[in-house]
A and B are shown apart, each in its own frame.
Chain A
């Protein structure tokens, strides 16, 4: 535990600092020791991203991600991103982008599932294409 002392008197610990910071916003819980992992409720939950990813659809490697268990490669320019913790239903929002002036879009035939979302990536010539850089973020209810 990290502490700040004046002489022999401890005036600040990492837990009191963490709680003091929270008191200046909205305390989500009480820190006792170690790392505090918060879970949000109410409106805060609805305003927080439930998943995000940066994914290479050519090599099938995630640069980084949150709440993503994996991918399904369905074919050229056609893949799903699989959620680790499922969404509560299918009425959630996905925002995505792909590289250059190419397009990452929801797969119109398969749309959105609670455990995954299927995408298509289209080259500027109109053909499906395995884009290298695909990013997405998800808002909705768990």
Chain B
């Protein structure tokens, strides 16, 4: 699972866990998504594997419905 959020600069950031993280993705989102930014927890397969145009990735803010960074 991954956490995605849209930055104030309209870029997309993706949070992933380390092997040592024992909490949930919800807990990881609450800990590390910047305050005020909406996020969505998605399957790994949602994240493109081709990073050729990584900085051009976009996300519709309307789908970021799982929470807001605190």
Contact = CB atoms under 8 A, between A and B. Distances in A.
Interface residues of A, number: 21
Given A115-B31, A115-B32, A72 B21 contact: no
A75 B20 contact: no
Interface string A71-95: 1111110000010100000000000
Nearest to B17: A70
A72 B15 contact: yes
A60 interface: yes
A58 interface: yes
Interface string B17-37: 111110100001001100000
Interface residues of B, number: 18
Contacts of A72: 13-15, 32
Question: Chain A at the B interface: mostly helix, strand, loop or mixed?
Answer: strand
Contacts of B54: 73, 75-76, 130
A73 B21 CA distance: 17
B28 A70 contact: yes
Contacts of B13: 72-74
A58 B20 CA distance: 19
A84 to B, nearest CB: 7
B18 A65 contact: yes
Interface in B51-69: 51, 54-55
A70 B21 contact: yes
A90 to B, nearest CB: 15
Given A69-B18, A72-B15, 8 more contacts: A64-B19, A68-B20, A69-B32, A70-B18, A72-B32, A73-B14, A73-B16, A74-B11
23 contacts: A53-B18, A58-B51, A60-B16, A62-B18, A62-B20, A65-B18, A66-B20, A69-B28, A69-B31, A70-B17, A70-B18, A70-B28, A71-B18, A72-B13, A73-B15, A74-B11, A74-B13, A75-B11, A75-B55, A82-B31, A115-B31, A115-B32, A116-B32
